[in-house]
Every structure is written in structure tokens, then in C-alpha cells.
Structure 1
Amino acid sequence: MNKPILDVTDKPSSSQWLSLSLQHLFAMFGATILVPYLVGLSPAIALISSGLGTIAFLIITKFQVPAYLGSSFAFIAPVIAAKATGGPGAAMVGTFLAGLVYGIVALIIKQAGYKWIMNILPPIVVGPVIIVIGLALAGTAVNMAMNNPVTNEYSLLHFSIALVTLAATIICSIYFKGMMSLIPILFGIIVGYVYALAVGVVDFTPVQEAKWLQMPDFLFPGVDYQVKITLDIVLLMVPVAIVTLSEHIGHQLVLNKVVGRNYFKEPGLHRSILGDGMATMISGLIGGPPKTTYGENIGVLAITRVYSVYVIFGAAVLATVFGFVGKITALISTIPTPVMGGVSILLFGIIASSGLRMLVDSKIDFGDKRNLVISSVILVIGIGGAFIKVSDQFQIQGMALAAIIGIVLNFVLPGREPVKEDFFEEKSNNENRVA
């Protein structure tokens, strides 16, 4: 680990603070606004909830863990399904319940340690489920890229916008260095937006009509919707926490090595998981998408060697403030659908590829029939959209069903190996070499 420019508890100078915090904001911006765009929620609320959620996370982790929380891609399909089942209110109830699961897991970890959770979520289960998250959304990305959003028919003009956006995103990701290499999504959106503007697809009317200061479209329980917890919503949303918990642990392992601390011991994995869950619950209470720690921001830490929680806090405050700036949220709303489709093609593919990477890094042997069976069943059930429906109130579908079956198969099939005592140390070293 290189010597940090600003360590975790170091406070930046007034001249540095704004620019350093903006770096973190830009790193998360593209992905965080893409999720609400896809699920039909307010991008302004996504920004505000990410800011408030990150502040809550910092408080719960005693200002020791420099992590930023943004919108979770794992919940895209479940949120869409929940909205179709019971409207936006149902999605918010499900989001809150998913965050509550984090709190329960955090409490168990505090009492029993953290080894047990890796026995439930080994790479052979989590890897294929992550692949499902990406590939199950492939059709959505392609339709957004190829079709005219007004007529929902193929349009070469709109597809060209998506291809330009995709090309710009790939070029930024592969050829750019330093900080620019960490914001390929934002860069791609900007280039695609400029091209869409040049071919006459962008409508600036919402920006012209928007006020500078504007109240976002909050969704408050008991005010904007009736709180109703159904088994259907629970089964749609709660099982996805299985995947995001594993994602959280992976991010913490990398963060341990980047900043040279053991966050599993101090402030404790239970605190970081609780912080993540609290951010998701806050988001559910105001109308935002579920939250997760962001790998993009860990990348910013690694490149800049600025680990200060004050910088993260500044980024969270900026995100919250931007959510109330009507001109900014109106500008986001003018981004053409094929621009988002272009970045989604790469982003959803990367999500799927990260699942493959987990399997490779964990040295999963697919010559072993046990591993082959578990991964095969998860992939086909998840991507194929299989579901169990006993009644309108009892239904488990898609990714949730795939994750549950994967966990069950991992426990019932012979040959399961328990997690080694030194798993976390070994994994941390491997992640450090990758980083």
C-alpha cells in the first residue's frame, strides 16, 4: 500500500475539499442515475437518498470507513416487478424490508461472527447469481438502444445514438488513464448526449421550464401510498439481499487492502452491513432505489490515495444538494433513452462478467459435477425467468428463486467444503493483487 495523500481521518484544506468531493460524486453519478431511469423512479430522489444514505453509513461506522453508497443494480428487476404488482409504494416497502434484512444479519454477525455468512454465500452460488443479474437485463438494454421510445419500433437513428454512446464508454474505459478511467459511464452519457443533441433528439423544454430550486417527487409512506406488506413483495425483494450482502463483503475486502485497515474487526463488519442496510431503509422511506457500496468510489480511493471520510462526506452533501436543484434534475430527465441503452449494454455485460471473474478468481472447478449442477440450475432458472406461483399472494420469481435454489443445492449436494478460517486473509491478498 502506498502512503496516502490524505488518510481516513485527515481533513482536506478548503481549496481541496470541493474538488476532491466532486471527484467521488462524478464517479458514482452515471450509475446512480441510471438505476432510477430504468425502474421509473426519480433521479433526484436517487441522488438525495445516496447522499443521506452515505452520511448514515459514515455515522454508523464511526467515520472510519470511507465508502460511498449509490443505487444498486441487483434490485432493478425486483423493483420493476414490485411496481407492476403494487405500484411504487410496493417497491418502497420491499426496499425498506431488504434494508431490514441487513440489520438482522448485522445483529447476528455481532453475536456469532461473520464466517457463517460465507458458508451460506460461497462463490459457486453468488457468481452465477451475479451473472443472472447482468444477463437478465440484456433485453432491456438492447430495446432501449434500438427502439424509438415514442413508437417502440426499431430506429436506426436512435440505435446510432446508442452505438456512439457505447463506443465513447468503451474508449474511456480502455484508453483513458487516472481519474477519467473511473468515470466511463458518465463520459459515455455526456458524449452520447452531445451526439443526440446534434441529431435533434434532445428536447430542452423541461430544463427551460424547471426552477433552480425545486422540491423533488418524494414518496412518503402513509402519505403518498398505503403501507402494505404482502408475501409477494417480501419474496420479490428480500432474497436479493443475499446477493448484495455478498457484494458488500467483497467491497469491504478490497477496501481493507486499499486503505490498510481491517474493517472486519474495527469498526466491525456488522457496523458496515448495518450502515448499508440503513441507507437502503432511508431510500425506501423517501422514494429512492435500494443502495449498495460502490466499487467506482473504491477505485477513486486507490488511484488518488485520498482516503479521507471528510471527502466522502462532502460528496454525500453535494449529492443531496444537487437533488434539490431543479435545472440539474430536469437536465437528467432530457437524456434520450438510447443514450442510457448504450451505456447499459456495457454495464450489464460487466455485471455478468464480474460474476464470471468471481468464479475464476475463486478457482471453481467445473470438472466437479457438483459445481456444474449448481451453476447450471441458477443460470437457467434466473435468466429464463422461472417462477413458483401458488397464488396471487405467493410468488417467487427470477433471480430470487435462482438464489434460493442455489443456496439449497449448495447445502444438500455432497462434497460441500466449509469456508477456511483464513478465507478473509487469503481473499484480501488476492483482491490486492488484482487492484
Structure 2
Amino acid sequence: MDELIGTEGRLPFKRWVSLSFQHLFSMLGGLVVAPLIIGINPSATMFCSGAGTLFYLFITKKKMPIFLCTSFAYTAPLLIVREKYGVEGMMFGVLTAGLMYVLLSLLVRLCGTGWIRRLMPPVVTASVMIVIGLSSALTAVGWAGYNASSGAAAALEPSMRLKWIAVSTITLLVGILGTTCFRGIFSVIPVMLALIAGYVASLVLGVVSPSAIAEAISGPVLALPKFCLPRANMEAAFMTAPLALVTVGEHIADVTAAGNVCRRDFIHDPGLHRSLFGDGVASVIAAFFGGAPVTTYSENIGIMALTKVCSVSVVFLAACIAIVISFFAPVNAVITGIPTPVLGGISILLFGIIAITGIRIYMDAHIDFSSNRNAVIALCVIVLGLGGASISFHTGGLYFEMPSIAVATFTGIFLNLLLPGDRNQPKPV
């Protein structure tokens, strides 16, 4: 068995660089697919992930080898926010999510983590995750071309729609095989493999032409990412703030898992509050540069478990490489040129994984649905979330709207606090 290289370990130059690229490849889903789904510039997101990770490493005293990347839990809500309020309004939502993390870090520092468990027990968190995963199912299916009356596929000729279906199906199948059958390094880069397969299929079937790619990469080699600033929008803030309560559970789980892999107790040293604070600062940075909100990424932890290398220096170099790559215009051109059916095939898989994550939370927490309390909380969250329930009103010159995901989240929190019974995670049976 290979000896574990700890957080302070140093590697030979070639292996150091190689492992840094492996971390980047494993996170292509968050670095490339997530921003394309949301509708923001991938280069800006890559820059923000790299810069945010550097700040995170500094805030956590260079003790936690964790790379920050866009969480897919944010994609569906941010897609709605962008459609309603534009990219600048969405960036204000990203800013709000970051500030929520900063606030949560202060509360954890003062009060511990017990209150998070009481506010968002597994039955609430899992139900919201299911809503987040399935709320964009129609969008993903439309991008894939499977629904002729939905999305971009509605305007296609029948022959081209069949090509879209072929491309999205190939992309989806490769992603499924990568997730379930591949071993070793290939098991942690299924998104990258699916993107490559989908891109090749698009070229072969004529969904995208080689000349279009050649034209896209024929410009200058270096260019600034398309940065943008947030514009104050309280409706966007209300739509994104609840997501911080959902993803903080994901954050805690990833920090715990990383500690297990590295054989360190990161919850206490350097402390969960530092990790949350670093995550919040990174998301605030993203908001002012046109990136997506970031959080811990399980694929990063998977690479460490696979290679038995937990060196912070590897993550540091990966962050620096991400920043450098973000300034290469041809790379951005190829990424932004990823065909819609490729995104559709990937999105079906990724949105489904988010929903299944919610079901796994039910199972891991031994949620007892013979309890009417648990059943009522779950059904209200899921039905309101997927049914499109929203609250809106005008007061003076202000228009306020709370979208279905926020309504579902607050409903779950309210019912959990209101209904009698055990508000905490049930004990295993």
C-alpha cells in the first residue's frame, strides 16, 4: 500500500504538475458545465475558482487541500435568477450567498454546528436537494432534443433534431459508463470524458462544423475573461440566500470526508468556521468578477483518496493553473462552443445525481417515512418546489418575488420547527 503524503508533503516537479492537472480535469463539471448551464463566462468562473481557492488556502492556514468550484446545487436557482434579472442581478445573488456563508462561519465559531442540524435536519435538506435536482429536468431534456416542444429543439428541423438526440444520448451514455464502470483516474473524470465524446459526435454528425471551431480559436491567444459586477437586486438576493443553508451541509460533509482521507481533524484544526469563512470570501470574490458561487468539491477529495496525495501544494498549483488558463482565449472559445445537445446529455446526468443525492441523504439518515411528521415535511417541500409555488407582491415601488425553491426551503424549515416530534436526525433502526 502506498504511503499517504500529508498536507505539508512535497513532490517531485513532474508529479506535482501532473497531479495538479488531474485535480483540474476532475472538476471540469464545475469549471465548465455549470457556468455554461447558468449562462456565464467559463473563463471568469475558472479565474474565480482559482483565485477563490488561493484565498481559501490562506484563510485555512494552508492546512486544507480543498479546491473550491461551482456547486451544481446552485445551477437551477441561478438559471431562474439570470432569466429574470440578468447576469448583473444574478451576481448580486452570488454576493448574497457568499455573505451568508460568512455569517454562518461566525455563528459556527460562536455557537457550534448544532443549530444547523436543528434548522436543516436531513429530512429538509434531502427534500430540497430533490427539488433542486428535478426542477430543471425540463430544461435538460429540451437541450438534449428529447422534447420537440421545449427549449432550442423546438426550432429544429426533424433531421437536425435526430442528430441532437444522437449527440446527447452518446454524451449521456459515456457519462453513465464513466460514473458506474470506469476505474482509476477515469472514475473521477466522467464529465470530461462525456464532454469529449459529445464534442466528437457533434463534429461527426455535423451538429457543429470544424470551420466554426477553427474560426473561434483564430483570434488572439490571450484575452481577459468577461468579468462583470453585481447590481443590487433584493429579489435575486432572496432567491439565492436559502441555498447557503442547503449547501452548508454539503460543505461540512466534504470537509469531514477530506479530513478522513488526509487523516486529519479539519473540523477542529484549522476549524470549520475558517473553512466556511474562506468559502464565503471566495464566493464574494466571484460575485465581483462575474463568476459562480463556489463550494467544496467532492471530486477533488476523490483524487486525493485515489492518489493518496493530500499535499496543499498540489491544490495551490491547480488553482494557479486555473487562473492562467482563464486568460487563454482559444480555450474559452472551445468551451463556450460546446454544442447544446452535449450540455443536455450532461445535464440530465448531473441534475439526476443531485436528486439522487437527496434520496441518499434520506437513506443515510434512516429517515422513517412511516412517521407522519417526516412524510408531511418531505411532501410539502417536494410538491411546492416542483409545483412552482411562488410568493410575490408589490409594495410601493418595490416588487418582491420568492421563487419555488426558496418557498420550499422555508416551508421545510418552518414545518420542522413547528411540528411536534424529534427535530433532529432520527437514530438508526
Q: TM-score, normalised by structure 2?
A: 0.93
1:239-318 equivalence runs, <5 A: 239-318=242-321
Read off the aligned partner of 1:102 and give its amino acid letter.
Y
Task: Give 1:151 deviation, angstroms.
Answer: 5.8
1:411-422 equivalence runs, <5 A: 411-418=417-424
Read off the aligned partner of 2:376 and give its amino acid letter.
V
- Paired with 1:405 and 1:220, the residues of 2 have a C-alpha distance of 32
- Paired with 1:409 and 1:279, the residues of 2 have a C-alpha distance of 32
**Where does residue 404 of structure 2 map in the other structure?**
398
**Where does residue 67 of structure 1 map in the other structure?**
66
Residue 374 of structure 1 pairs with residue 377 of structure 2: yes
Q: State the identity %.
A: 39
Residue 351 of structure 1 pairs with residue 359 of structure 2: no
Is the 8 Å Cα contact of residues 206 and 330 (structure 1) preserved in structure 2? no
Read off the aligned partner of 2:404 and give its amino acid letter.
G
Q: Deviations over 1:13-35 (max 9, x none)?
A: 21211101000000001332111
Q: Specify the SS of the correspondent of 1:212.
A: coil
Task: Give 1:82 deviation, angstroms.
Answer: 2.4
1:91-102 equivalence runs, <5 A: 91-102=90-101
**Where does residue 232 of structure 2 map in the other structure?**
228
Residue 135 of structure 1 pairs with residue 141 of structure 2: no
- Paired with 1:129 and 1:304, the residues of 2 have a C-alpha distance of 33
Task: Give 1:199 deviation, angstroms.
Answer: 1.2
- Paired with 2:17 and 2:293, the residues of 1 have a C-alpha distance of 27
**Where does residue 429 of structure 1 map in the other structure?**
none
Residue 198 of structure 1 pairs with residue 204 of structure 2: yes
Is the 8 Å Cα contact of residues 30 and 185 (structure 1) preserved in structure 2? yes
- Paired with 1:210 and 1:124, the residues of 2 have a C-alpha distance of 51
- Paired with 2:5 and 2:216, the residues of 1 have a C-alpha distance of 38
Q: Structure 1 residues 69, 4: CA separation in 2 closer, same or farther (over 3 Å shift)?
A: farther
Q: Specify the SS of the correspondent of 1:89.
A: helix
Q: Specify the SS of the correspondent of 2:295.
A: strand
Is the 8 Å Cα contact of residues 210 and 330 (structure 1) preserved in structure 2? no
Task: Give 1:228 deviation, angstroms.
Answer: 2.1
1:358-369 equivalence runs, <5 A: 358-369=361-372
Is the 8 Å Cα contact of residues 385 and 405 (structure 2) preserved in structure 1? yes
**Unaligned stretches of 5+ in structure 2?**
none
Aligned residues: 415
Q: Deviations over 1:199-252 (max 9, x none)?
A: 12223144333321111111135xxxxx3242x122111111111111111111
Is the 8 Å Cα contact of residues 121 and 423 (structure 2) preserved in structure 1? no
Is the 8 Å Cα contact of residues 73 and 354 (structure 2) preserved in structure 1? no
**Where does residue 337 of structure 1 map in the other structure?**
340
Is the 8 Å Cα contact of residues 168 and 191 (structure 1) preserved in structure 2? yes
Read off the aligned partner of 1:133 and give its amino acid letter.
I
Q: Deviations over 1:305-347 (max 9, x none)?
A: 1101100111111111111001101011221110111111111
Read off the aligned partner of 1:378 and give its amino acid letter.
V
**Where does residue 213 of structure 1 map in the other structure?**
222
- Paired with 1:21 and 1:270, the residues of 2 have a C-alpha distance of 26
Residue 57 of structure 1 pairs with residue 56 of structure 2: yes
Is the 8 Å Cα contact of residues 217 and 329 (structure 2) preserved in structure 1? no
**Unaligned stretches of 5+ in structure 1?**
222-226, 427-435
Is the 8 Å Cα contact of residues 389 and 404 (structure 2) preserved in structure 1? yes
- Paired with 1:48 and 1:358, the residues of 2 have a C-alpha distance of 32
Q: Which runs of 4+ in 1 moved over 6 A?
A: none
Is the 8 Å Cα contact of residues 30 and 189 (structure 1) preserved in structure 2? no
Task: Give 1:419 deviation, angstroms.
Answer: 6.0
- Paired with 1:206 and 1:60, the residues of 2 have a C-alpha distance of 42
Is the 8 Å Cα contact of residues 68 and 295 (structure 2) preserved in structure 1? yes
Is the 8 Å Cα contact of residues 135 and 352 (structure 1) preserved in structure 2? yes
- Paired with 1:208 and 1:75, the residues of 2 have a C-alpha distance of 30
Is the 8 Å Cα contact of residues 48 and 289 (structure 2) preserved in structure 1? yes
- Paired with 1:206 and 1:336, the residues of 2 have a C-alpha distance of 15
Q: Deviations over 1:130-161 (max 9, x none)?
A: 11111111111100001684763461111110
**Where does residue 413 of structure 2 map in the other structure?**
407
Q: TM-score, normalised by structure 1?
A: 0.92
Task: Give 1:384 deviation, angstroms.
Answer: 1.4
When the two chains are superposed, the root-mean-square deviation of aligned CA atoms in Å is 1.8
Q: Deviations over 1:268-293 (max 9, x none)?
A: 11000011111111110100111111
Q: Deviations over 1:61-108 (max 9, x none)?
A: 111111111112222233223223332111111111110011111111
**Where does residue 163 of structure 1 map in the other structure?**
169
